Chains A and B, each alone.
Chain A
Amino acid sequence: NAGVTQTPKFRILKIGQSMTLQCTQDMNHNYMYWYRQDPGMGLKLIYYSVGAGITDKGEVPNGYNVSRSTTEDFPLRLELAAPSQTSVYFCASRPRLAGGEDTQYFGPGTRLTVL
């Protein structure tokens, strides 16, 4: 299994541009997540999905949109990029385990700079 893959690895955007960060998992996990990681701030949840067709906001959803049309893919859309969106973005997935234990599997991240 490739696990969780993210593309691109790096991207520089100009203010006002849009882009989509891609995330794919091949583990047939129900749950998928998007986080952003800023220095000294830990991981903040942007959006998550509990299955195809179902998404919900996390802690910091403003300026982002998501969709989940398949189990495998969970793209994150940035509209009208702003410098405050400069960050490292991580996608993660986890299975729905009967015991409720939450082992999230993370992708390698996308480093985004907005200038």
Chain B
Amino acid sequence: QQQVKQSPQSLIVQKGGIPIINCAYENTAFDYFPWYQQFPGKGPALLIAIRPDVSEKKEGRFTISFNKSAKQFSLHIMDSQPGDSATYFCAAFPRGANNLFFGTGTRLTVIP
């Protein structure tokens, strides 16, 4: 059973567009929500993260929007660039636990 549901599976946007990747969860024990970025042939790397006590967090061109009541969160990439082409994973960390639960990933392609 997938604890964190991620969509879409793949996404193609033009340079300058704003791709949006969505994630949803059911477990109310989750209290930390990171996003990881993975380039081909590399391991994932932390991109940005949020706690459920805020509705939005922005770092550079990357923004997480968080809707606690709907148990959904999303990643927005402003002014997307070809260098943003990568696979993005959302994840969730349960309070008091030892490990993350990952979404299935979204392969983003930004066309020049």
Contact = CB atoms under 8 A, between A and B. Distances in A.
Interface of A: 4, 31, 33, 40-43, 45, 48, 50, 56, 58, 90, 92, 100-104, 106-109
A43 B101 CA distance: 8
Interface stretch (B43-51, B61-69, B75-83): B43-51
Interface string B21-59: 000000000011010000001111110010000000000
B35 to A, nearest CB: 12
B103 A42 contact: yes
Given A42-B6, A48-B98, A58-B99, A103 B104 contact: no
A43 B2 CA distance: 11
Contacts of B43: 4, 90, 92, 106-109
Contacts of A104: 44, 46, 100
A103 B103 contact: no
A101 B42 CA distance: 23
Contacts of B73: none
13 contacts: A4-B43, A40-B9, A42-B102, A42-B103, A48-B99, A90-B43, A100-B32, A100-B93, A101-B32, A102-B32, A108-B42, A108-B43, A109-B43
